[in-house]
Amino acid sequence: MRNRLAVVSLAAMSLVVGLLHLRQMYLRPHGDHPLSYSKELRVLTYSSFVGASGPGSEIVSLFEKEHGVRVNVVTAGDAGLLLERMKIAQASVPFDVVIGLDQLMLPEATKRFRWRETFFATSGRQAVLAEFASPCFVAYDWSPLTFIYRRDARHPGEIPARINDLTERKFKTQFALQDPHSSSPGFQFFAWVKALKGSETEAFLRAFRPNVNSVSPSWAFSYGLFNKNQTRFVWSYLTSLAYHWGANGARDYQVVVFREGHPVQVEYVGIPQDCRECELAQAFVEEMLHPRAQTLIMEKNFMFPVIKGLERGTVFSELPQLKTVMTEAGRDFSEWDRVFQH
Amino acid sequence: MSSNIEERVRATLRVGVALLLLSPYLIWILQVPQWTWPAATEWMAALRNSFSQAGLSSVLAFIAGFYLFRALQSWRGSRWQSGAELALLLPNMVPALFLVMSFLSLAAPFGVLPYGFSAVVFAHVWLNAGLVAVAIDRLVHHKLGGLAETAWVLGASSRLFWRKVALPYIGGDLASVFLFVFSLCFTSFSIPLLLSGERVLTVEVAIFDAIRMEGSWDKAVLLAAFQSLMLFSLAILLPEPFWPRKPARAPLEFLVWCRGRHLVFVPALIVIVGWLKGLGSGLFMDMDMDMGVPARGVLIEALLTTAIVALSVGLFHVAFFLVTAFVSPHARLNRFLNGYLAPSPVITGFGLLLIPVDGDLINLGKLVLALSLISIPYLYRWIVHSALASVRGQVITARALGASWRSILVDVVWPQTASPLLRASGLAAVWAAGDFALSGILIGEAQTLPLVMESLLSRYRFEAAQLLMLPLVILCLLIYAIFMGAARYVSR
């Protein structure tokens, strides 16, 4: 019995060590990180940006090859946890670049951390982004948000055109939303309602509530429900259409166009004040604005690039142009909670 | 090793076991400079919601579990016995990601996915009823088997048997099982979040809000500790749980519910049908469509990393359970292990990030540790405790006869408990293989299969994500088979 215990322990450990060795061997030709790299850039982002289908890995590899440096990517689960991850890093090794903050997170980011001012020429950028410019953060992609739906013979013409239409009884349980506490698009929806309804936000949400099919914790879950025909409208990005029209040629997917305008999500990259490789960080931000990286972001993140003209000849140029509105919201969700929280 | 040194080693290891499990809390205690207790208004509603949800879920899981236990009796002695038990336990065995994908896939053909309080309770009942059924089955066979047959021979009604014989005799054990299920429902996070439709504030959600909305780690840790202490106190009040581990072969005809015999397969069918449906939509999708399946290199890396993490978590559990077996029996440690509840994954994951060492392999190590710290308390209470309790008498006798603790572990405890210990470790490995929450926080740019799936889900590639369930399921089965094979080899 003692021998068998020893055999099993040895076999199990050998298996793990063998797999580790295989993984290292496999990673080496792909990773290509010789020990001679003298500099290391620490980048913080959300996990799906550098995930298997995100644009991050390719941008990082290109940068490593061009600058002969190692980029150490640290992830924080999702974008909502970026600032918490930064807080922890302050005590040990700080980050040089932070990718994935959106404009609604910027006030909190500026309040809690110090950031370097960054200056990049703005010529050739999308005009709409001028409203969202920030001295410390550089926009790298954007998209207006709205409800996506599938054209359906059963509901001809029954599409909301104004925000007040959302409360009509004919749309009962037809809308899928995301929770603003845990989802950026959900936060944008709440901010949009607040921007348009002001002091009547709570009353509007109460009137809208019967038409809400579900409030999901994440965009992916609510979009999954929409994909499975569980809901008629889902709150998402205008650029979601680029996926449906481009990747699977499904032109029956459409967006709701609101006369009042639409909120816009802008994603930013920033350089913390306590960066250690600040010049490299600056170069990395430049790389993210390079047409090559911007094309990758457009194709893999399904968001508009910030550089004008890149979408020409792609499905992105066929998307409808939506009027945009500025949104502002603190992290006070009390009106939302009074309606949607038990 | 002399007896004194051995005793000292055991005492040190006991402290080590407790400190290891408490380490996420300890790290935070060292790191948080100032503590603020959350206002009562912030957590009273959460506590009330958690109690009502968990209370109703566990009562209904108990009622459903009781009927499933009776249905299970009709499979006793048949070659389907093990299959019926496996079917009952399957929802508890599969990682949360599988359940979420199954829910999504099942939603379409049955109309609108149900939401709200009732959906949350239903999901908890579905998850835990089989567990209750198997626990009652073990208890009744081991503690009441003879009495049940006597009652049957004497012509007592089934109701009279339960009222007058069973409940007074195994009431304490049933209360322990109830508390276990209650704590599973009480600390459940993803199910209330996904199925409540709107926002139901539970203690776990309040912890989540304290972290994400306010960045108040002190509040989050205090709430987690409060939740843990509360359930720990309840566990202390109850008698020591006893879950006999070996299934009986003979059916208790007296308690059989023949008409419902096929119901034992329902919990597993919900998981399997949901998954197969999702897989089908992935396999038979429009081939002209750009599926966005990542490059082969990424998939191989993800597969290898997932296998390494899962196997390492399994091995960590084996080592931990062996150490626990070496330092047992010890009343206070057993009480602690039976009542302790791990903090939520975010608190554990971020706690380990505070350890100021970094690197690819170190991060994998942190992930293995974090996953183990979360699953060990559950698996100890569910499987390991009863295995160790079943040999306690022999340990005491061997010790009285002068055997060393090392010899007792290797020659007495391990041969008899290897199978359940390795089964528990195999389960931990399977859960680890399906993790994406902690992996996303801890392993940087490395990829695991669930992370690849999560990345695909967040880029509209639902079909491709469902397709990747296939290698993940195969990997999980393979890893579980490795642990079961090892169990068979060492127990031969």
**Alpha carbons within 13 A on the beta-carbon side of B101:** 32
Q: Strands A264-270 and A137-150: what pairing?
A: antiparallel
Residue entry with tokens 């809901």: A231
Residue A100, φ and ψ in degrees, nearest 5: 120, 5
In chain A the first and final C-alpha atoms are separated, in Å, by: 57
The pLDDT score that the predictor gives to residue B239 is 64
CB contact under 8 A, A16 and B297: no
pLDDT in tens, A171-214: 988 999 998 988 899 999 999 999 999 999 999 999 999 999 88
Q: Is the pLDDT of residue A294 over 60?
A: yes
pLDDT in tens, B312-330: 999 999 999 999 999 988 8
The most confident of A26-35, A264-273, B41-50, B444-453, by mean pLDDT: A264-273
For residue B410, the chain A residues in CB contact (below 8 A) are 1-2, 5
CB contact under 8 A, B445 and A57: yes
Q: Is the pLDDT of residue A53 over 60?
A: yes
Chain centre distance of CA B120: 18
Provide CB contacts within 8 A for B464, sequence distance 6+.
B282, B291, B292, B293, B456
The pLDDT score that the predictor gives to residue A264 is 95
Determine contact: A90 vs chain B, CB below 8 A.
Answer: no
**Best residue in B286, B357, B460 to probe A by mutation, most A CBs within 10 Å?**
B460
Q: Grade residue A45 by pLDDT with cuts at 50, 70 and 90.
A: very high
Q: Grade residue A39 by pLDDT with cuts at 50, 70 and 90.
A: confident
B270 versus B61: which is more confidently predicted? Answer: B61
What are the tokens at B343?
């903090």
For residue B455, the chain A residues in CB contact (below 8 A) are 47-48, 51-54
The pLDDT score that the predictor gives to residue A134 is 87
ipTM: 0.82
Q: Is the pLDDT of residue B422 over 90?
A: yes
Mean pLDDT of A152-177: 86
Q: Is the pLDDT of residue A52 over 90?
A: no
> Would you say B128 and B304 are in contact if contact means Cβ atoms under 8 Å apart?
no
Determine contact: A87 vs chain B, CB below 8 A.
Answer: yes
List C-alpha distances in Å: B74 to B184, B257, B335, B353, B454.
28, 7, 35, 51, 41
Mean pLDDT of A155-177: 88
The pLDDT score that the predictor gives to residue B308 is 95
Mean pLDDT of B417-424: 91
Distance CA B100, CA B104 (A): 6
Nearest to B107 among A92, A179, A230 (CB): A230
The pLDDT score that the predictor gives to residue B346 is 80
Taking the CA atoms of A288, B302, B449 and B419 in sequence, report the sign of the dihedral they define: negative
For residue A105, the chain B residues in CB contact (below 8 A) are none
Distance CA B446, CA B353 (A): 16
Determine contact: A240 vs chain B, CB below 8 A.
Answer: yes
**How big is chain A, counted in residues?**
342
Distance CA B492, CA B486 (A): 10
Lowest-confidence pick of A23-37, A81-95, B125-139:
A23-37
Q: Is the pLDDT of residue B197 over 80?
A: no
Nearest to B194 among A221, A244, A333 (CB): A221
CB contact under 8 A, A341 and B200: yes
Distance CA A140, CA B103 (A): 35
Q: Which residue in chain B has the smallest CA separation from A24?
A: B301
Q: Strands A212-216 and A40-45: what pairing?
A: unpaired
The most confident of A117-126, B81-90, B355-364, B476-485, by mean pLDDT: B476-485
Q: Grade residue B355 by pLDDT with cuts at 50, 70 and 90.
A: confident
Lowest-confidence pick of A11-20, A146-155, B399-408:
A146-155
Distance CA A238, CA A252 (A): 14
Determine contact: A2 vs chain B, CB below 8 A.
Answer: yes
Average pLDDT value for chain B: 83
Determine contact: A216 vs chain B, CB below 8 A.
Answer: yes
Residue entry with tokens 């009353």: A203
- What is the Cα gyration radius of chain A? 23
Nearest to B460 among A19, A81, A302 (CB): A302
pLDDT in tens, B141-152: 877 777 777 877
Residue A73, φ and ψ in degrees, nearest 5: -95, 125
The pLDDT score that the predictor gives to residue A329 is 67
3-state secondary structure A90-141: HHCCCCCEEEEEECCCHHHHHHHCCECCCCCCCCCECHHHHHHCCCCEEEEE
3-state secondary structure chain B: CCHHHHHHHHHHHHHHHHHHHHHHHHHHHHHCCCCCCCCHHHHHHHHHHHHHHHHHHHHHHHHHHHHHHHHHHCCCCCCCHHHHHHHHHHHHHCCHHHHHHHHHHHHCCCCCCCCCHHHHHHHHHHHHHHHHHHHHHHHHHHHHHHHHHHHHHCCCCHHHHHHHHHHHHHHHHHHHHHHHHHHHHHCCCHHHHHHCCCECCCHHHHHHHHHHCCCCHHHHHHHHHHHHHHHHHHHHHCCCCCCCCCCCCCCCHHHCCHHHHHHHHHHHHHHHHHHHHHHHHHHCCCCCCCCCCCCHHHHHHHHHHHHHHHHHHHHHHHHHHHHHHHHCCCHHHHHHHHHCCCCCHHHHHHHHHCCCCCCHHHHHHHHHHHHHHHHHHHHHHHHHHHHHHHCHHHHHHHHHCCCCHHHHHHHHHHHHHHHHHHHHHHHHHHHHHCCCHHHHHHCCCCCCHHHHHHHHHCCCCHHHHHHCHHHHHHHHHHHHHHHHHHHHHHHC
List C-alpha distances in Å: B295 to A185, B292, B300.
29, 9, 9
**Best residue in A28, A47, A72 to probe B by mutation, most B CBs within 10 Å?**
A47
Q: Is the pLDDT of residue A3 over 80?
A: no
The pLDDT score that the predictor gives to residue B284 is 65
Torsion of CA A336, A339, A340, A342, to 10 degrees: 120
The pLDDT score that the predictor gives to residue B139 is 82
Q: Grade residue B103 by pLDDT with cuts at 50, 70 and 90.
A: low
Q: Which residue in chain A has the smallest CA separation from B199?
A: A341
Q: Is the pLDDT of residue A293 over 70?
A: yes
Q: Grade residue A315 by pLDDT with cuts at 50, 70 and 90.
A: very high
What are the tokens at A45?
């982002």
Q: What is the largest CA-CA distance in chain A?
A: 77
The pLDDT score that the predictor gives to residue B382 is 83
Distance CA A304, CA B133 (A): 54
Q: Is the pLDDT of residue A157 over 70?
A: no
Q: Is the pLDDT of residue B153 over 60?
A: yes
A254 versus B106: which is more confidently predicted? Answer: A254
Determine contact: A33 vs chain B, CB below 8 A.
Answer: no
Q: Is the pLDDT of residue A323 over 90?
A: yes
Q: Which amino acid is located at A229 in the chain? A: N
Q: Which amino acid is located at A176 in the chain? A: A
Q: Is the pLDDT of residue B193 over 70?
A: yes
CB contact under 8 A, A84 and B414: no
pLDDT in tens, A237-263: 999 999 999 877 888 999 999 999 999
Q: Is the pLDDT of residue A81 over 60?
A: yes
Provide CB contacts within 8 A for A333, sequence distance 6+.
A180, A181, A190, B213
Mean pLDDT of B201-229: 84
The pLDDT score that the predictor gives to residue B394 is 92
CB contact under 8 A, A19 and B415: no
- What is the Cα gyration radius of chain B? 23
